[in-house]
């Protein structure tokens, strides 16, 4: 492996701080700078990880010639603006989900990536989780047979999270359910139909501009006989957190457990009825990583396992070191990371189009044309 190192600036140090020790251990990574607005918290983080270059202003990160790329973990409304400014400043971008809040923002990022040749990766945890890697491996080995249907759910009670979540609607944060369905077969979404259900309390309805609690959406895959069902809520529905994927094949099907930390289920066709379903343990995929960061697939190695996303997210399936490794490998090999800008735009726009559909009582809404382009990524 090359010993070339890439200088990353970590922007947003809540969830974002969890990635610092992984970059510091990766042979090709170096945390050149950190950035967040609150100076006291910035210094605490810099002292904890021994990082001297600290910025409270994002524009100062972009002006730093030593920074090769930004890893953005700011609040959702800032993702697209910060990605666009970074690409215009000549920096590669890795950004947490979602890519943006509007189709126009997603298109601008795709255009800038195409014009500049810079890399963009959306840091989607689900498609680097051990469950996704396990099901994808089963599929690629032919053990599932032909995939017939996919489903994913992401119920999450956002009371207790930062206030800006109250201004969100469920499908504007849907990549954790869209990505595993499309990502398994590396397909694009072509159109969606989404229904709203139930109601949220008045405070949430006023802040978000949307009154329904649950959003439930069907996705038609482009150039494929497949469709998938996804659903989400953010407030006022009782359920334990879950980020599930179910994949149904002709030979075998994978179903996520109903309760966190219980075993998932593998169904095998044509067995005696009582033997069809089997509880399984999903293996870890640390062996795919450089040895220096293999330990970070396990929750004990995450520095701040108290972050609410980590507790509710069950450690995000050991995905963090895989995402860091994918971005650094893409830079090293001068190829697109996965998911790249167009894939990220398709996944993000499914949610944006789904919300538009829900507002129209389930009308079919087509994905924008620029998101249908099939580009060759790591899985392509
Ligand atoms: N599984 C996942 O993929 C996952 C899990 C958790 C969080 N996230 C995403 O990560 C992002 C951050 O989540 P969080 O819970 O840490 O949020 P948070 O609000 O706790 O932290 C945001 C951070 O961004 C910084 N920040 C805000 N505006 C800034 C600006 N203009 N310039 C520089 N820094 C700025 C803040 O100082 C803070 O450090 C969110 O977009 C969230 O969606 C993704």
State the closest ligand 1 atom to the C-alpha of 123, by its place in the atom list counted from 1. Answer: 3
Residue of 43, 73, 312 best suited for mutating to test ligand 1, as the one with most atoms within 8 Å of CB: 73
Task: Parse the chain into domains and list their residue ranges.
Answer: 126-289+340-371
Average pLDDT over residues 196-224: 98
198 in Cβ contact with 214 (< 8 Å): yes
Average pLDDT over residues 16-31: 96
Tell me which of 3.30.360.10, 3.40.50.360, 3.40.50.620, 3.40.980.10 is the CATH number of domain 126-289+340-371: 3.30.360.10
Q: 96 C-alpha to center of ligand 1: Å?
A: 8
Average pLDDT over residues 259-263: 93
State the closest ligand 1 atom to the C-alpha of 76, by its place in the atom list counted from 1. Answer: 41
State the closest ligand 1 atom to the C-alpha of 98, by its place in the atom list counted from 1. Answer: 43
Give the count of beta carbons closer than 10 Å to the beta carbon of residue 4. 10
143-165 as b/e: b if 16+ CB within 10 A: ebeebeebbbbbbbbbeeeeeeb
pLDDT of amino acid 2: 84
Average pLDDT over residues 267-279: 98
pLDDT of amino acid 308: 53
List the residue whose alpha carbon is closest to atom 2 of ligand 1. Answer: 125
> Using one digit for the tens of pLDDT, what is the confidence trace for 232-252?
999 999 999 999 999 999 999
Q: How confident is the model at residue 315 (pLDDT cuts 50, 70, 90)?
A: confident
pLDDT of amino acid 301: 53
> Using one digit for the tens of pLDDT, what is the confidence trace for 30-51?
999 999 999 999 999 999 999 9
DSSP 301: G
pLDDT of amino acid 379: 41
Query: What is the spatial distance between Cα 124 and Cα 136, in angstroms, rounded to a whole number?
Result: 15
State the closest ligand 1 atom to the C-alpha of 161, by its place in the atom list counted from 1. Answer: 15
Identify any residues that bridge with 191 across adjacent strands, giving them in sequence order. Answer: 220, 366
The residue ranking higher by pLDDT, 309 or 122, is 122
Residue of 12, 19, 39, 46 best suited for mutating to test ligand 1, as the one with most atoms within 8 Å of CB: 12
DSSP 146: S
Q: How confident is the model at residue 303 (pLDDT cuts 50, 70, 90)?
A: low
Strands lying side by side in the sheet with 264-268: 277-280, 264-268, 252-255, 244-249, 147-155, 227-233, 214-221, 189-197, 365-366
Q: 79 C-alpha to center of ligand 1: Å?
A: 9
Q: 74 C-alpha to center of ligand 1: Å?
A: 3
> Using one digit for the tens of pLDDT, what is the confidence trace for 45-75?
999 999 999 999 999 999 999 999 999 999 9
Average pLDDT over residues 131-136: 98
Q: What percentage of the chain exceeds 70 in pLDDT?
A: 94
Q: How confident is the model at residue 311 (pLDDT cuts 50, 70, 90)?
A: low
Q: Which of 265-269, 338-342, 375-379 has the lowest mean pLDDT?
A: 375-379
Name, in order, each residue with C-beta under 8 angstroms of 206's C-beta and a sequence gap of 6 or more.
none
pLDDT of amino acid 104: 98
- pLDDT above 80: residue 300: no
pLDDT of amino acid 298: 85
Query: What is the spatial distance between Cα 223 and Cα 218, in angstroms, rounded to a whole number?
Result: 16
DSSP string over 236-261: S-------EEEEEESSEEEE--SSTT
Q: 17 C-alpha to center of ligand 1: Å?
A: 10
Strands lying side by side in the sheet with 29-35: 54-55, 29-35, 6-11, 69-72, 92-96, 120-123
pLDDT of amino acid 373: 84
Q: 77 C-alpha to center of ligand 1: Å?
A: 10
DSSP 56: S
Query: What is the spatial distance between Cα 326 and Cα 72, in angstroms, rounded to a whole number?
Result: 16
Average pLDDT over residues 92-118: 98
List the residue whose alpha carbon is closest to atom 25 of ligand 1. Answer: 12
- pLDDT above 60: residue 378: no
- pLDDT above 60: residue 318: yes
Q: Which of 13-22, 158-167, 292-301 has the lowest mean pLDDT?
A: 292-301
Average pLDDT over residues 174-188: 97
- pLDDT above 50: residue 377: no
List the residue whose alpha carbon is closest to atom 34 of ligand 1. Answer: 36
Average pLDDT over residues 305-315: 54
Q: Which of 171, 133, 135 is nearest to 154 (CA)?
A: 171
pLDDT of amino acid 380: 37
Q: Report the chain's mean pLDDT, rounded to a whole number.
A: 94
- pLDDT above 90: residue 299: no
Q: How confident is the model at residue 124 (pLDDT cuts 50, 70, 90)?
A: very high
Both tokens of 260, joined, read 């966190």
Residue of 11, 14, 183 best suited for mutating to test ligand 1, as the one with most atoms within 8 Å of CB: 14
pLDDT of amino acid 254: 98
Q: 275 C-alpha to center of ligand 1: Å?
A: 45
Alpha-carbon torsion, ordered 119, 319, 246, 312, to 10 deg: -120
Q: 125 C-alpha to center of ligand 1: Å?
A: 15
Q: 330 C-alpha to center of ligand 1: Å?
A: 24
List the residue whose alpha carbon is closest to atom 20 of ligand 1. Answer: 14
Average pLDDT over residues 208-229: 98
Please list every protein residue whose CB sits less than 6 Å from any atom of ligand 1: 11-15, 35-38, 58, 73-76, 78, 96-97, 125, 162, 309, 313, 316
List the residue whose alpha carbon is closest to atom 19 of ligand 1. Answer: 75
Average pLDDT over residues 364-370: 98
308 in Cβ contact with 160 (< 8 Å): yes
> Using one digit for the tens of pLDDT, what is the confidence trace for 79-88?
999 999 999 9
């Amino acid at each position: 492996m090359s010993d070339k190192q890439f200088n990353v600036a970590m922007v947003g140090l809540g969830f974002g701080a969890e990635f610092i020790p992984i970059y510091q251990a990766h042979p090709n990574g170096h945390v050149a700078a950190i950035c967040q607005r609150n100076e006291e918290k910035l210094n605490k983080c810099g002292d904890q990880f021994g990082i001297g270059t600290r910025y409270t202003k994002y524009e100062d990160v972009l002006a730093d010639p030593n920074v090769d790329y930004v890893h953005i973990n700011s609040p959702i409304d800032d993702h697209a603006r910060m990605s666009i400014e970074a690409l215009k400043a000549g920096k590669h971008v890795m950004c947490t989900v979602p890519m943006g809040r509007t189709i126009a923002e997603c298109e601008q990022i795709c255009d800038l990536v195409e014009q500049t040749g810079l890399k963009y990766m959306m840091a989607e945890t689900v498609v680097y989780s051990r469950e996704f890697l396990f099901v994808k491996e089963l599929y690629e080995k032919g053990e599932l047979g032909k995939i017939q249907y996919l489903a994913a759910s992401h119920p999450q009670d956002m009371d207790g999270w930062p206030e800006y979540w109250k201004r969100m609607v469920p499908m504007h944060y849907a990549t954790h359910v869209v990505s595993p369905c499309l990502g398994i077969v590396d397909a694009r979404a072509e159109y969606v139909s989404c229904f709203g259900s139930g109601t949220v309390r008045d405070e949430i309805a006023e802040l978000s501009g949307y009154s329904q609690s649950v959003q439930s959406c069907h996705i038609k895959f482009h150039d494929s006989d497949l469709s998938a069902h996804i659903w989400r809520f953010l407030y006022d529905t009782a359920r334990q957190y879950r980020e599930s994927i179910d994949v149904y094949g002709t030979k075998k099907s994978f179903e996520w457990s109903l309760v966190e930390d219980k075993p998932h289920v593998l169904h095998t066709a044509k067995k005696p009825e009582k033997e069809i379903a089997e509880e399984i343990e999903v293996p870890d995929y640390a062996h795919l990583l450089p040895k220096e960061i293999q330990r970070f697939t396990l929750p004990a190695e995450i520095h701040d396992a108290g972050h609410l996303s980590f507790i509710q997210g069950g450690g995000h399936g050991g995905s963090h070191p895989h995402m860091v490794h994918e971005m650094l490998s893409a830079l090293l090999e001068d190829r697109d990371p996965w998911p790249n800008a167009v894939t990220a735009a398709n996944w993000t726009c499914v949610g944006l189009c789904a919300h538009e559909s829900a507002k129209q009582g389930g009308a079919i809404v087509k994905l924008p044309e620029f998101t249908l382009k099939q580009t060759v990524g790591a899985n392509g």
